[in-house]
Structure 1
Amino acid sequence: MTQTPDYIREFEQARPMLIGLAYRLLGSRAEAEDVVQDSFLAWSATDRAVIAQPRAWLTSVCTRRSLDVLKSARRSRTDYVGHWLPEPMATAEITTPETDLMVSESVTMAFLLVLERLAPKERAAFVLHDVFAMEYAEIAAQLGIAETACRKLVSRARVNVRQAGNTKPAPRDLQQNLVDAFRTALQSGAPEGLARLLANDAVLSADSGGKAASIIGPVKGPDRIITFVTRALPKFWSSFSIEVAEINAQLAMIVRDGLSAHAVVSFIVNADLRIAEIMIMRNPDKLRSFDLMD
């Protein structure tokens, strides 16, 4: 049996952390995997004998490449069709100590949406320090800025995150209530359970990227959301199967047409533990990881 080279084994040990970092910076699992692959190619081509701290080196390469992709992505999103949402990611099977960071509150949809509003370097500095517990001096060196500037970036990001409100997962029993109420409203037309959970300023949004049939603008307010879920959606989803799964550290719904994922429905709750936003992912490019194998 051929033994795996040390440099590959060393990279694979760092891969979960690198995926977690790139995913938070980009809000896209597919782009994160591309960045990590680019990082591996750089790792394979470099003189590893002169690298004293491989993990720090890989983190630096992954961060810089993520920032390059993020800047490009932000330009392209000005032409994005409809409402952009982070790519959902299944987290239930991520249980090893190396990957615990992936299932923390810093991977919720609410948190990713807050990160999306931060400037690229501000976002990177905050994630590296407050999520991955890196020192300011090391982050500053990776970003090519002074340590004092790095501290200011993290401080400003913290303010923005606090002002955004609740970014933590809902309590587990409430998560179950959310999916049960939505499913009941969708399949039976009974709105009472969902209506009790909706905040007065609740919003339902969808991301199709212009590649699937979907609403373009948000549906605002409990009454309109209830009407949409009980009257509009059943016309298209009545023959589809529904699976409840842990996605971005919270229970969500996967709607499937046979083996293909048709939609993922996720929820954000506010500080009062009411639904602030219902997010429906319809972009097929962001649903591929949820397709079932034949």
Structure 2
Amino acid sequence: MAQRDGLSAFEEARPMLLGLAYRILGSRAEAEDAVQDTCMKWLSADRSAIENPASWLTTLCTRRCIDLLRSARRTRVEYVGAWLPEPIQMSVEHEPGERAALAASLQTAFLLVLERLTPKERAAYLLHEIFDVPYPEVATALDIQETAARKLVSRARANIDQSKVRHVTPLDRQERLLAAFQAAVATGGTEPLMAALSSDVELCADGGGKVPAALRVLRGKAEVLGFIDRVLLGYWRTCAWEVTDINGGRGVILRKDGEIAACMSFAYDEHGAATNLYIVRNPDKLARLGEPV
């Protein structure tokens, strides 16, 4: 009975823990490992002595994620080509308010800004700003004083605010870009697509050294459109397109002979122009795309 009650309490907390872990780590596989480790320690703990199970689980999961992130960052230094977060496919309700803000915190551009923070800054910001964890509990989770927790969040907030990645682009703008992209692939005409891109647009492709992909970030309309015309149009024209939600925004999954060959998502400026094209081709990161989150 106690084991069953313990599992029930953990399952109630699992969605929040998995959401936190994914945002800290940028990897669904690593996030699930962190949550599973948390579960095992929870079930073996003396739960009668735990006054606040949710806080206890959040603390344990956060610390495990920080350990994993430090290890992962050493690996990412040696990564072949550009590194992008593992994409997740999930349905998002595009509306103002809390759910829209939560969706924005899944966007690839936001996760990449988090990569510039220290592990503790990243965790502190996510706990307080995204999951509304009070400062005293943030301090407990990170094993620091509350004043230090406030400083971590303040530094992280300044960095993220400067990057202007926490905004939600209207759905019609996102779908207009996708339509222009599909039209360019189908017909070779890039004029509508060109109009939807910002002047300083960037294209980043993650092949992980396992499949062909651009090894550097492509910058500016001329370079990005040239790559699309020379490389993508011929290959993607034979792919099946599945328009879906990728990391909190409209994106596309491309299938070749029934297998996922790539996925693409976007970032936008405050005016709705596309500033970034993110293409994931690393098969390890695509293996579980489409599975329930």
> Normalised by the size of structure 1, how large is the TM-score?
0.92
Is the Cα contact below 8 Å between 1:260 and 1:290 reproduced in 2?
no
Distance 1:102 1:32, change over 3 A: farther
Residue matched to 1:164: 163
1:53-132 correspondence to structure 2 within 5 Å:
53-92=52-91, 103-132=102-131
Cα distance in 1 for residues equivalent to 2:254 and 2:2: 42
1:88 Cα offset (Å): 1.1
Distance 1:102 1:34, change over 3 A: farther
Distance 1:184 1:78, change over 3 A: same
Cα distance in 2 for residues equivalent to 1:32 and 1:101: 22
Residue matched to 2:246: 247
Question: For residues 168-225 of structure 1, what are the alpha-carbon distances to aligned partners after superposition, in whole Å with 9 as ceiling and x for unaligned?
Answer: 2311000101111111112211101110011111111101111111111122211221
Is the Cα contact below 8 Å between 2:88 and 2:247 reproduced in 1?
yes
Structure 1: give runs of 5+ residues left out of the alignment. Answer: none
Residue matched to 1:232: 231
Is the Cα contact below 8 Å between 1:106 and 1:131 reproduced in 2?
yes
Is the Cα contact below 8 Å between 1:169 and 1:249 reproduced in 2?
no
Is the Cα contact below 8 Å between 1:108 and 1:168 reproduced in 2?
no
1:256-271 correspondence to structure 2 within 5 Å:
256-271=255-270
1:94 Cα offset (Å): 8.5
1:43 Cα offset (Å): 1.0
Cα distance in 1 for residues equivalent to 2:103 and 2:187: 34
1:114 Cα offset (Å): 1.2
Residue matched to 2:173: 174
Is the Cα contact below 8 Å between 2:87 and 2:289 reproduced in 1?
no
Is the Cα contact below 8 Å between 2:139 and 2:146 reproduced in 1?
yes
Q: Work out whether 1:32 is the aligned partner of 2:31.
A: yes
Question: For residues 125-178 of structure 1, what are the alpha-carbon distances to aligned partners after superposition, in whole Å with 9 as ceiling and x for unaligned?
Answer: 111001111111111111111111111110111100111123323110001011
Cα distance in 2 for residues equivalent to 1:109 and 1:254: 15
1:178-257 correspondence to structure 2 within 5 Å:
178-257=177-256
1:101 Cα offset (Å): 8.6
Cα distance in 1 for residues equivalent to 2:100 and 2:171: 19
Count of matched residue positions in the alignment of Structure 1 and Structure 2 = 288
Is the Cα contact below 8 Å between 1:82 and 1:216 reproduced in 2?
yes
- Identity percentage of aligned residues: 44
Residue matched to 1:13: 12
Structure 2: give runs of 5+ residues left out of the alignment. Answer: none
CA RMSD of aligned residues (A): 2.2
Question: Partner of 1:233: helix, strand, or coil?
Answer: helix
Is the Cα contact below 8 Å between 2:26 and 2:86 reproduced in 1?
yes
Equivalent position amino acid for 2:281 in 1 = R
Distance 1:17 1:94, change over 3 A: farther
Question: For residues 31-68 of structure 1, what are the alpha-carbon distances to aligned partners after superposition, in whole Å with 9 as ceiling and x for unaligned?
Answer: 11111111111111111121111111110110000000
Cα distance in 2 for residues equivalent to 1:100 and 1:14: 18
